Amino acid sequence: MTAHVHPLPVDAVALVDSWFSPLKSFRGRLPSNDPLIAAGGAGWLIRTRGRELAVVVDVAFPFTRPRVYLRGNWPAMPHIERDGRFCLRNPEIPASPIAAVERALGEARALLADIASGSEDHDFEEDFGLYWRQSAEVGLRARLLIPGDQASSIIAWSATQAGAYGFLSTEALQRWWAHRFDSDRSHVRQGALVALTRLPHPDLYPRTGLELWDLVVQCSRDGAEVLAGLLRQTPKSLLVVLAGTALSGRHHAVGAMLTRHSDARGRPVTRRVIEHDYPRGKTPPEIICERYRLSRLETEALDAAGTRLPYEERDRLASARVAVIGCGALGSGVARLLAKSGVGHLVLVDPERLGWENIRRHQLGAGFVGSPKATGLAKAIAHENPDIGGTIGYDLAVEKLLLANAKSLEGLDLVVACTASWSANSALDDFFGRPGRPPVLYAWMEAHAVAAHAVLIMTGNSYRSGFDIVGNPKLMASQSSKAIPAACGALTSPFGAIELAHAETLTSRLALDFLRGKAVSTTWRTWLTDSETLADAEGSWTKDWIAARGSPDPQGQVSAGPWLV
């Protein structure tokens, strides 16, 4: 049976015109010069639920979804942006322009009903940062790295043309700055972090210095004391961060800037002007605050990329210290994935330099050819993830590092070994296989990267138990008649980036499972390629593997089994 395909309309706007025209609530088309309409777009006015709405489409409609705007004046409403746009999830319906408009308008009407009932009021707290940003002054930005659940305190901040950067401490600011810009930040100022006991409604967002003071007094237990101490210094400008937690547990932090007013010549007024009518140093802080100009800042969280996990798991990962031994194709990818997943401290170990044969699959590209892999990767990861706690690289073999500086591998939560070296892995198995030392996750790939293995070895088990005396695995998944490119000289790449990606994901996932407390015992996982890729490698699955784990899925799979002890 063949599915019916609706033909796309020749003139979508004309069809929507015909649908709107007979409606009693229809108020006509928007003029072409209306600010809501871009070149080639169209809009319709309709009266519903006591409100006037505009339904707007752009030139690409019906391949783009209609938008709905609230017209006229209105108080702050949940899920409605500053310009009146409804935050809807109406789908794109290219085959039916009328259905697309009906759906958008229906969702807007439903939202108005929910707003009227008060059922959406909690959203002002849940999305406090978003509503603050919508009402901020355009072009004035704050970029903050403020972890949640902090008490009111003095923080560090620095200003650039890009905005004000705020951190819990000068140390945190300098670390982030060094990671991101490879330099120190000389001009660091003091700011105020005000912990709010409740997040305010948009109608209460402060517009003046005095309103900010009143908000701090009403909604914070100890923020007024911190703010007052800084105001008595009458700084030219002062970053104030308002932070709090929604009922769901979601953390928010937003920025406001207090600046001295300008005199007739455009210069900031003096301290004497700020403190007039009072003895020097005796001006009440609320009076000082009132005499400053307040700007609400568009606020971005510098650690916003880490919001996928619950806060307690984010904190656990941020404090975790992981060593990646072997920073070649596999190890470099694992290190970068762990950093992007929120692991806060990485120790990278590798004796080699990057060669041209690596750049298609190594995380460091052509710009790092000739550079040491470990220190080069440490620098690149810190630059890309400046909120990371720290990265350090050691450009020597792990066997030598254990002899020369074993303390560099102390205090670890996990070691990930991607060395592809029997001797290096044996040294790690011997050193970390003792009580009181962290587990080691060993990762390796079979010939042509048709299979990848990741085994987490806990205390009491041994990596070497799965191999013979010269390092041959006791259980192989694959066999192949296709010759492997000569490794001596390393002039070619035996596998590509796509095959490698599976191994990177397998290893990184097991590492995160351990760090998050989800893998608590010795664990062996294996990724197996699809049958087509296996055939390209002139390979097959071994009888021993099939007997131990069963026949692999022709589409590829991840399997798990007991480690060989």
113 in a structural domain? yes
Rounded Cα gap, residues 429 and 463, in angstroms? 6
Using DSSP, state whether 546 is helix, strand or coil: helix
Q: Which helix (H) or strand (E) holds 158?
A: strand 153-160
pLDDT score recorded for residue 493: 55
440-445 and 478-480: which strand pairing? unpaired
The number of folded domains in the chain is 3
- Residue 289 confidence (pLDDT) above 80: yes
pLDDT tens-place string over residues 68-111 = 999 988 888 999 998 899 999 999 999 999 999 999 999 999 99
Which of 302, 330, 364 represents a domain boundary (last residue)? 302
Q: Any residues with CB less than 8 A from the CB of 292 and at least 6 apart, and which?
A: 209, 238, 258, 259, 260, 261, 274
In this prediction the pTM is 0.87
CA-based nearest residue to 253, from 245, 243, 263: 243
5 in a structural domain? no
Report the percentage of the chain scoring pLDDT > 90. 79
pLDDT tens-place string over residues 375-412 = 999 999 999 999 999 999 999 999 999 999 999 999 99
Report the interhelical angle of 97-117 vs 12-20 (nearest 10°).
50
7 in a structural domain? no
Q: Any residues with CB less than 8 A from the CB of 308 and at least 6 apart, and which?
A: none
Rounded Cα gap, residues 561 and 419, in angstroms? 22
Rounded Cα gap, residues 338 and 332, in angstroms? 10
6 in a structural domain? no
Asked whether residue 214 falls in the same domain as residue 317, the answer is no
CA-based nearest residue to 191, from 242, 260, 224, 240: 240
Question: Are 88 and 100 within 8 A, CB to CB?
Answer: no
Average pLDDT over residues 254-269: 88
For residue 62, cis peptide bond before it (omega within 30 degrees of 0): yes
431 in a structural domain? yes
Grade residue 503 by pLDDT with cuts at 50, 70 and 90.
Answer: very high
Asked whether residue 253 falls in the same domain as residue 181, the answer is yes
Q: Which helix (H) or strand (E) holds 100?
A: helix 97-117
Grade residue 4 by pLDDT with cuts at 50, 70 and 90.
Answer: very low
| Sign of the CA dihedral with 332 first, then 335, 340, and 344 last | negative
Among 111-115, 124-128, 307-311, the minimum mean pLDDT is found in: 307-311
pLDDT tens-place string over residues 541-553 = 999 999 999 999 9
- Structure letter (DSSP) for residue 320: -
Question: Are 454 and 441 within 8 A, CB to CB?
Answer: yes
Asked whether residue 265 falls in the same domain as residue 286, the answer is yes
Residue 16 structural domain: 12-121
Asked whether residue 331 falls in the same domain as residue 279, the answer is no
Asked whether residue 76 falls in the same domain as residue 215, the answer is no
Asked whether residue 365 falls in the same domain as residue 406, the answer is yes
Question: Are 208 and 294 within 8 A, CB to CB?
Answer: yes
3 in a structural domain? no
Asked whether residue 396 falls in the same domain as residue 488, the answer is yes
Asked whether residue 87 falls in the same domain as residue 138, the answer is no
- Residue 135 confidence (pLDDT) above 60: yes
CA-to-CA dists, residue 370 to 166, 373, 375, 394, 413, angstroms? 37, 9, 12, 16, 31
Asked whether residue 263 falls in the same domain as residue 161, the answer is yes
Report the interhelical angle of 329-340 vs 373-384 (nearest 10°).
20
Question: Are 286 and 278 within 8 A, CB to CB?
Answer: no
- Residue 238 confidence (pLDDT) above 80: yes
Q: Which residue has the higher pLDDT, 526 or 565?
A: 526
Measure CA 296 to chain center: 24
* Residue 156 dihedral angles phi and psi, to the nearest 5°: -110, 140
CA-to-CA dists, residue 101 to 60, 104, 329, angstroms? 14, 5, 50
Average pLDDT over residues 339-344: 95
Which of 57, 88, 121 represents a domain boundary (last residue)? 121
Rounded Cα gap, residues 218 and 348, in angstroms? 49
547 in a structural domain? yes
pLDDT tens-place string over residues 41-56 = 999 999 999 999 999 9
pLDDT score recorded for residue 374: 97
pLDDT score recorded for residue 357: 83
- Residue 462 confidence (pLDDT) above 90: yes
Report the interhelical angle of 329-340 vs 497-515 (nearest 10°).
50
Q: What angle do CA 503, 562, 470 make, to 5 degrees?
A: 70
281 in a structural domain? yes
- Residue 491 confidence (pLDDT) above 50: no
Question: Are 256 and 297 within 8 A, CB to CB?
Answer: yes
- Residue 2 confidence (pLDDT) above 70: no
Which of 259, 284, 302 represents a domain boundary (last residue)? 302
Question: Are 164 and 158 within 8 A, CB to CB?
Answer: yes
Domain at 74, CATH number: 3.10.110
Domain at 422, CATH number: 3.40.50.720
Query: Number of C-alpha atoms within 13 angstroms, CB side, residue 13?
Result: 13
pLDDT score recorded for residue 267: 84
- Residue 489 confidence (pLDDT) above 50: no
Asked whether residue 35 falls in the same domain as residue 142, the answer is no
| Sign of the CA dihedral with 301 first, then 305, 307, and 312 last | negative
Question: The tokens 């703010």 sit on which residue?
Answer: 227
| Sign of the CA dihedral with 306 first, then 308, 309, and 311 last | positive
Both tokens of 469, joined, read: 């005396």
Asked whether residue 143 falls in the same domain as residue 109, the answer is no
Asked whether residue 101 falls in the same domain as residue 24, the answer is yes
Rounded Cα gap, residues 388 and 394, in angstroms? 18
